[in-house]
């Protein structure tokens, strides 16, 4: 069936709005009639959500959770293999509502291609949701972290999220949609030698707060997830990347920071061992995309609430606690 043209939809809205005004007998109602109609007619029968970083972990679980609740999901991955694997594992009966697309958040050409494809698919209904979830984690002492690694960390976790959000905001505005971003408890608690990642997640706190305030007039809600440790591949991928970095450590790093790096390795292994299943995040993602009043922040997983509380302590106390835990200084 052919989709109705914009002009036809506009004429239909105008006609029905005039009928509503005739019934209510007040021309001043025209604006509110149009608002009601825009709301009713612009709603997709099946609402669509774009998820970045959907190949594994939180993004993949969210994709399946949202498909299971009847949403149409545009799952963004970075390879055809990942797309195939995702489609193969999708919940039964949901394949017609799952579209996979290639989207590296640092690639402007791929972002534009994804925008065009999604715009064509959602038509006048717009996009209901954007889940900014893609992320990487890079570790190392600030004195020695290669500046290129820091740039890559910020490019993926910060600039890429902003670029994707900019591209999809016009479609989200049409649907009066929702934006959910995966921050972290590292967005309010800085762990030594995890500064590249923490800097990026602190930035996403600012991103989400500013965006929420900027988009208020359009009723686009903005939520930030602040997970603690969650059992996903990120622990392995960041661990492997760190091992790679340690193969040829910068001169002097081991002599200066070897003790701290050992303690952190132990702390990371222990946190990974206590990590919560990914479903605790999916529950809140679903809430953020479905609740009448989504929260601005969601905390879940070990270390999410406790680190928030610790962040209120005086700096000297907190520094002492961290030093004691890591046996450093």
Ligand X SMILES: NC(=O)c1ccc[n+]([C@@H]2O[C@H](COP(=O)([O-])OP(=O)(O)OC[C@H]3O[C@@H](n4cnc5c(N)ncnc54)[C@H](OP(=O)(O)O)[C@@H]3O)[C@@H](O)[C@H]2O)c1
Residues at the contact surface with ligand X, assessed by CB under 6 A: 52-53, 55-59, 78, 82, 104-106, 133-137, 156, 160, 182, 184, 227, 229-230, 232-234, 237, 275
Shortest approach of ligand X to residue 39 CB, angstroms? 32
Q: Is 281 helix (H, G, I), strand (E, B) or coil?
A: helix
Task: Please count the other Cβ atoms lying within 10 Å of the Cβ belonging to residue 98.
Answer: 21
Pairing mode, if any, of strands 72-77 and 48-51?
parallel
* Adjacent-strand bridge partners of 226: 299
For residue 40, report the phi and psi dihedrals to the nearest 5 degrees.
-70, -45
Shortest approach of ligand X to residue 140 CB, angstroms? 16
Q: Which long-range contacts (CB under 8 A, 24 or more apart) does 151-158 make?
A: 153/196, 153/197, 153/199, 153/200, 154/196, 154/199, 154/200, 154/203, 155/106, 156/105, 156/106, 156/200, 157/197, 157/200, 157/201, 157/203, 157/204, 158/200, 158/203, 158/204, 158/207
The active-site residue out of 197, 202, 257, 298 is 197
Please say whether the beta carbons of 17 and 34 come within 8 A.
yes
Q: Cβ closer to ligand X: 32 or 310?
A: 310
Q: Does 197 qualify as catalytic in the annotation?
A: yes
Shortest approach of ligand X to residue 186 CB, angstroms? 7
Please say whether the beta carbons of 230 and 276 come within 8 A.
yes
Shortest approach of ligand X to residue 96 CB, angstroms? 23
For residue 292, report the phi and psi dihedrals to the nearest 5 degrees.
-60, -35
Q: Is 298 helix (H, G, I), strand (E, B) or coil?
A: strand
Shortest approach of ligand X to residue 274 CB, angstroms? 10
Enumerate the active-site residues: 197
């Amino acid at each position: 069936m052919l989709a109705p043209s914009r002009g036809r939809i506009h004429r239909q809205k105008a006609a029905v709005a005039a009928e509503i005004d005739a019934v209510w007998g007040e021309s001043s109602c025209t604006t509110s009639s149009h608002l009601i109609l825009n709301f009713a007619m612009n709603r997709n029968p099946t609402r669509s959500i774009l998820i970045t970083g959907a190949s594994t972990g939180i993004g993949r679980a969210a994709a399946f959770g949202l498909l299971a609740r009847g949403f149409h999901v545009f799952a963004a991955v970075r390879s055809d293999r990942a797309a195939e694997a995702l489609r193969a594992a999708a919940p039964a009966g949901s394949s017609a509502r799952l579209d996979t697309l290639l989207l590296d958040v640092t690639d402007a050409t791929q972002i534009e291609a994804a925008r065009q494809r999604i715009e064509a698919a959602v038509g006048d209904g717009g996009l209901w949701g954007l889940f900014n979830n893609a992320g990487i984690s890079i570790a190392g002492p600030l004195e020695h972290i290669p500046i290129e690694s820091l740039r890559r960390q910020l490019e993926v976790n910060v600039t890429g999220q902003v670029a994707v959000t900019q591209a999809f905001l016009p479609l989200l505005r049409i649907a009066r949609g929702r934006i959910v971003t995966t921050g972290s408890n590292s967005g309010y608690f800085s762990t030594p030698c995890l500064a590249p990642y923490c800097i990026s997640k602190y930035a996403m706190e600012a991103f989400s707060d500013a965006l929420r305030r900027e988009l208020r007039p359009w009723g686009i809600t903005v939520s930030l997830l602040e997970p603690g440790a969650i059992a996903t591949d990120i622990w392995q991928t960041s661990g492997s990347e760190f091992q790679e970095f340690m193969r040829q450590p910068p001169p002097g790093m081991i002599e200066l920071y070897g003790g701290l790096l050992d303690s952190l390795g132990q702390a990371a292994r222990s946190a990974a061992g206590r990590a919560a299943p990914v479903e605790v995040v999916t529950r809140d993602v679903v809430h953020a995309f479905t609740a009448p009043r989504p929260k601005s922040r969601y905390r879940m997983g070990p270390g999410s609430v406790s680190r928030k509380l610790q962040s209120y302590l005086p700096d000297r106390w907190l520094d002492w606690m961290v030093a004691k835990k890591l046996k450093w200084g």
